[in-house]
C-alpha cells in the first residue's frame, strides 16, 4: 500500500484520485505505523515551506520520513513536498528541511511572471526510475514561486527553463524522488511518472 502523507497541507485528494485511476492501493494517513508498513510514500504539498515543516515536526513525521528513506523505501515529494526534501528553504524565513536532497529552496527571480504557473517542457539530464518511458520535452504542469538550488548536480534528473532560470523539475537521490511539477495534473505523462513510482514499490 502507498501512503499519501497527511500533514494538514496539500493536494491530497487529487493525488489519491490519480493513484485510484492507475489502480494503486493507497491511503491518506499521518499514522506512524501505517507509514512504516507501507510499500512507498508520497509527500504532497501546497503552501509555505516553514508552516509545512512545522506541521511535519508536530506529528513526528519528519523523523519517520527520514527513517523510512534511510531504509531504502521509495519516497516521492510533489511540488512543496519536493521542496521539503531539501536541506533548507528561504520562504518567509530561513527554515531547515528534511535534508534528503542537498540544496536550498530559493525564490524565483528575473523578468518573469511569478508564480511559474502552467505547462512547461522537461529536459532530461539523467535517467531515473520515474522517468522510464517519458520522452524528452514532455510537458508537465507547474505552480510554484520557489525552486531548488542543488548542491550536487548528480541529484538532477530533469529540469525546465523559465525565463533565465533552470528549474530542477525531477530530483533523485537513492530511493528518494521529487517532482517540482504536479504529476497528478500533468495528463498521461504525469500518470506514467506515478505508475513508474508505484512499480518500484511492488
Which residues carry out catalysis?
79, 182, 184
Would you say 52 and 58 are in contact if contact means Cβ atoms under 8 Å apart? no
Place of cell 521509495: 74
Q: What DSSP string runs through 157-200? A: EEEEEETTEEEEEEEEETTEEEESS-GGGSHHHHHHHHHHHHHH
Residue indicated by cell numbers 504532497: 44
Burial class (CB in 10 A: 0-12, 13-18, 19+), 51: middle
Burial classification of residue 152, based on how many CB atoms lie within 10 Å of its CB (0-12 exposed, 13-18 middle, 19 or more buried): exposed
Q: Which three cell numbers stand for residue 61?
A: 513525521
Cβ proximity of 81 and 41 under 8 Å = no
* H or E segment to which residue 76 belongs: strand 75-78
Amino acid at each position: 500500500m502507498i501512503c499519501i502523507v497527511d500533514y494538514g497541507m496539500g493536494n491530497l485528494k487529487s493525488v489519491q484520485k490519480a493513484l485510484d485511476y492507475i489502480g494503486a492501493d493507497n491511503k491518506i494517513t499521518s499514522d506512524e505505523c501505517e507509514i512504516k508498513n507501507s510499500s512507498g510514500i508520497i509527500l504532497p504539498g501546497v503552501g509555505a515551506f516553514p508552516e509545512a515543516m512545522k506541521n511535519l515536526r508536530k506529528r513526528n513525521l519528519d523523523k519517520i520520513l527520514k527513517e523510512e528513506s534511510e531504509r531504502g523505501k521509495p519516497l516521492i515529494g510533489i511540488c512543496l513536498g519536493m521542496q521539503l526534501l531539501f536541506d533548507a528553504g528561504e520562504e518567509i524565513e530561513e527554515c531547515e528541511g528534511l535534508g534528503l536532497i542537498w540544496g536550498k529552496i530559493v525564490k524565483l527571480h528575473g523578468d518573469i511572471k511569478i508564480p511559474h504557473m502552467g505547462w512547461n517542457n522537461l529536459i532530461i539530464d539523467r535517467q531515473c526510475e520515474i522517468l522510464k518511458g517519458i520522452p524528452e520535452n514532455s510537458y508537465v504542469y507547474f505552480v510554484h514561486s520557489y525552486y531548488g538550488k542543488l548542491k550536487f548536480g548528480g541529484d538532477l534528473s530533469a529540469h525546465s527553463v523559465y525565463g533565465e532560470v533552470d528549474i530542477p523539475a525531477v530530483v533523485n537521490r537513492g530511493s528518494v524522488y521529487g517532482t517540482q511539477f504536479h504529476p497528478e495534473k500533468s495528463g498521461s505523462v504525469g500518470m506514467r511518472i506515478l505508475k513508474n513510482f508505484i512499480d518500484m514499490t511492488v
